[in-house]
């Protein structure tokens, strides 16, 4: 993705302190942060925030956190949450590789991974967010029975991901090879997904249940 340089994006993010939280401060204390025991859902790579802010608006009984390292796109997501006055929404400006330092064991109920970088070269596969090394980290912070919901437009990445989930002890369900053709009712889209649908591209989706515990 080619990012549009927004002058002063970092400084502008800091003005939204009620939404952009210090990532490492609440390790093991996210229920205290929210002041309730509602389920906690994360989106890894939240981009411009269409997906996660829509979910937060439609599900006030769930707490949502969007994780994003690119301040330019995160600023757009934060503005959306602010305009919608979402009390159950927060964002972390941080790299996903640091996630094990942000959430303790069993703190998270669900992870969303939408249209992540496919890293097509074989030598880069360990960087894929569905690689076994990442799955091991997710399994620690997810509660028993917690889920990863995954979407991609890449057939090869989807096949790779199904194998990684299966080979590492995750239970797969609701596998879809063409989400648009199935006409999934209630499906919440991302900005990328809307563009891909307009081009007639297939969207692949699955859910993986954490069975490590």
One of 95, 117, 178, 194 is an active-site residue; which one? Answer: 117
Q: Is 109 labeled as catalytic in the residue annotation?
A: no
What are the residues facing 171 on neighbouring strands? 209
For residue 168, give Cα distances in angstroms to 45, 162, 174: 23, 10, 18
CA-based nearest residue to 84, from 44, 56, 112, 61: 56
CA dist 209 and 103 (Å) reads 18
Task: Kindly list the catalytic residues.
Answer: 117
């Amino acid at each position: 993705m080619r990012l549009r340089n927004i002058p002063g994006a970092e400084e502008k993010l800091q003005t939204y302190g009620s939404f952009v939280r210090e990532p490492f401060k609440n390790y093991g204390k996210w229920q205290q942060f929210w002041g309730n025991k509602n389920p906690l859902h994360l989106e890894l790579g939240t981009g411009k925030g269409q997906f996660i802010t829509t979910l937060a608006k439609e599900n006030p009984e769930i707490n949502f956190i969007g994780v994003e390292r690119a301040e330019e796109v995160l600023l757009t997501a934060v503005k959306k949450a602010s305009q919608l006055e979402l009390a159950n929404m927060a964002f972390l400006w941080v790299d996903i590789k640091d996630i094990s330092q942000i959430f303790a064991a069993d703190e998270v109920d669900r992870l969303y991974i939408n249209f992540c970088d496919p890293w097509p070269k074989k030598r880069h596969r360990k960087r894929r967010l569905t690689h076994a090394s990442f799955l091991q980290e997710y399994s620690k912070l997810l509660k028993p029975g917690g889920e990863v919901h995954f979407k991609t437009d890449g057939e090869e990445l989807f096949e790779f991901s199904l194998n990684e989930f299966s080979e590492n002890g995750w239970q797969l369900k609701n596998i879809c090879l063409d989400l648009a053709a199935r006409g999934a009712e209630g499906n919440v889209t991302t900005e990328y997904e809307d563009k891909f649908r307009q081009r007639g591209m297939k969207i692949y989706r699955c859910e993986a249940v954490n069975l490590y515990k």
